[in-house]
Amino acid sequence: MTKADQAVDTAADKVAAFVRETRGTGGLRGKLGDAFADDPEFIRKLKPSLMKARAKGQGTVEPAPRAPSGPQVDRPTSPKDKRRGGPSPWLVVGAAFAAGYLLAKTIDWRGHAHPRL
C-alpha cells in the first residue's frame, strides 16, 4: 500500500467518523451526516493503486446495472376510466354561450329605454 493509498484511507476514515458523530444529532449537523453517509465508501474507491488496476482491466469493476425484465409502470388508463362525473364540457360551453347571449340582449334592450340625447 502506497502513501497515497494510506492518505485516501485516512480521509475516508475521517469522513466515516464525522458521519458517525453527526448522524444521531438533529439539525443541520444531522442532515450533513445523512448527506455524507455514502462518501467514505466512494472515497476508498479513489485509491490510486485501485484506479491504476481498473485502468489496466485487472481491478474489480462493479457490474453494470441490469435493465428490468418487465415494465415498471402501470398501463395508462383510458379517458373513460378517468371520468369522475360532472357535467359534459360541451354542456358548460353551451350554457356559458346562452348566458352571455341573454345578458347582451338584456343590456341592449335596457339601452333603448333611456336614450342619450
- Domain borders along the chain are 3-56, 87-117
Q: Check: pTM over 0.85? Answer yes or no.
A: no
What pLDDT was estimated at residue 9? 92
What pLDDT was estimated at residue 75? 64
User: Averaging pLDDT over each range in 25-29, 38-42, 73-77, 85-89, which range is the top one?
Assistant: 38-42
What pLDDT was estimated at residue 62? 63
What pLDDT was estimated at residue 96? 97
Instruction: Identify the helix (H) or strand (E) that includes residue 113.
Output: helix 89-113
Whole-angstrom distance, CA of residue 6 vs CA of residue 41: 15
CA neighbor of 20 nearest in space, from 5, 42, 40: 40
Write out pLDDT tens, residues 19-66.
Answer: 888 887 878 888 888 888 889 999 988 898 888 888 888 866 566 667
15, three cell numbers: 469522513
Cβ atoms within 10 Å, residue 48: 13
74, three cell numbers: 402501470
113, three cell numbers: 329605454
CB 23 within 8 A of CB 33: yes
